[in-house]
Amino acid sequence: MRENLYNIKKKNAPLSLKDDLYFHLMKLSWAKFILFFLLVYFSLNIIFATLYFVMPNSISGEHTFLNSFFFSVQTLSTVGYGSIHPISFYGNLISVIEMFSGMLSIALMTGLIFSKFSLPKVHIMFTKNMIITNFEGQRALMFRLANARSNRIMNAEIGLTMLYDTVSKEGIHLRKFEELKLRKSKTPFFSLSLTGVHIIDENSPLFEMSDEKISSSTIELVVSLLGLDDTYGQTIHAVKMYQSNDIICGARFADILNREEDGSRTIDFANFNKVYEE
């Protein structure tokens, strides 16, 4: 498989987990996100339970690790004491430290959960393939994308970029990016589907390449979408990469938009990736 944007590995990057912990947490799925906080919660309780356990007579009740653990849970959660409570200076000191840690961890957890909930979630569908076909009497490269959610994306802007490797006169290997102009790249709002059309004319970098040469080349095409989510009021983006073998020549996309009897429009996602040979 050729190198693309999604499998590039970075080596010796000057990054650390502590510097990018917020970024990593926001990128986690909800299941992993909750699992992370469960691990932190139990780890803190085990650490403080150990501190209580190693010093006998620091808390009331039986001197067992299980007793120390449940006392730690009560203290970390700041729910107040029942039959178990600190009975020495050491026990009170550790309890104060744990209560402060509990308040801090709950505040951090609440903030992170709120941040994760407030992140706009996009569900933009891109067609599995691009096609090269005739469009209004001209050779054109086409792709399709759709908004699978019921929200609207305002001031949506679509971009198409071609990536390819080249070698300079000095023998330096370069990765070049070249923008491919779309027939229509902006729309006031995006709620159903859009078809991106790049006319392959004399101004196109693909003009001198035949359909077969494009399909067998090493170029990569990146489609990007940028817009404003009308629900969250935040900027959202989506990216899809196509390799040359994802391009089908001499085909057309199946229709997915229909108008109902009441005048409303529907989109049939079952035909979203279907193409027909011309």
Q: Quick one: pLDDT at residue 1? A: 40
What the block records as the tokens of 80 is: 């107040």
Q: Which of the four pLDDT bands, split at 50, 70 and 90, describes residue 142?
A: very high
Spatial CA neighbour of 253 closest among 129, 94, 73, 115: 129
Cβ-proximal residues to 270 (8 Å cutoff; 6+ apart), any chain: none
Burial class (CB in 10 A: 0-12, 13-18, 19+), 76: buried
Read off the pLDDT of residues 252-262 as tens digits, 9 standing for 90 and up: 999 888 777 77
Q: Quick one: pLDDT at residue 3? A: 44
What the block records as the tokens of 248 is: 């089908």
User: What mean pLDDT do residues 132-140 have?
Assistant: 92
Beta strands, E only, 6-152:
124-126, 130-135, 138-147
Instruction: Tell me the whole-structure pTM to 2 decimals.
Output: 0.67
Q: Which of the four pLDDT bands, split at 50, 70 and 90, describes residue 36?
A: very high
* 145-163 CB burial, b ≥16 within 10 A, e <16: bbbeeebbbeebebbbebb
Q: Quick one: pLDDT at residue 121? A: 73
Read off the pLDDT of residues 147-179 as tens digits, 9 standing for 90 and up: 888 788 899 999 999 998 887 778 788 888 899
Q: What is the DSSP letter of 150?
A: S
Interatomic CA distance for residues 153 and 131, integer angstroms:
25
CATH number of 124-277: 2.60.40.1400
Q: Which of the four pLDDT bands, split at 50, 70 and 90, describes residue 2?
A: very low
Read off the pLDDT of residues 61-115 as tens digits, 9 standing for 90 and up: 888 999 999 999 989 887 767 788 889 999 999 999 999 999 999 899 999 988 8
Interatomic CA distance for residues 217 and 164, integer angstroms:
9
Region of 78 please: left (phi>0), alpha (psi -120 to 50) or beta: left
Q: Which of the four pLDDT bands, split at 50, 70 and 90, describes residue 46?
A: very high
Cα 5 vs. chain centroid, distance in angstroms?
14
Interatomic CA distance for residues 15 and 154, integer angstroms:
35
Cβ-proximal residues to 97 (8 Å cutoff; 6+ apart), any chain: none
What the block records as the tokens of 256 is: 């997915």
In the chain, residues under CATH classification 2.60.40.1400 are 124-277
Q: Which of the four pLDDT bands, split at 50, 70 and 90, describes residue 216?
A: confident
Interatomic CA distance for residues 98 and 80, integer angstroms:
13
Interatomic CA distance for residues 45 and 59, integer angstroms:
15
In the chain, residues under CATH classification 1.10.287.70 are 21-118
Q: Which of 3.30.379.10, 1.10.150.80, 1.10.287.70, 1.10.10.1590 would CATH assign to domain 21-118?
A: 1.10.287.70
Is-contact 120 230, C-beta < 8 A? no
For residue 200, pLDDT over 90 is answered with yes
Q: Mean pLDDT highest for which of 15-24, 77-86, 127-136, 268-277?
A: 127-136
For residue 236, pLDDT over 90 is answered with no
Burial class (CB in 10 A: 0-12, 13-18, 19+), 273: middle
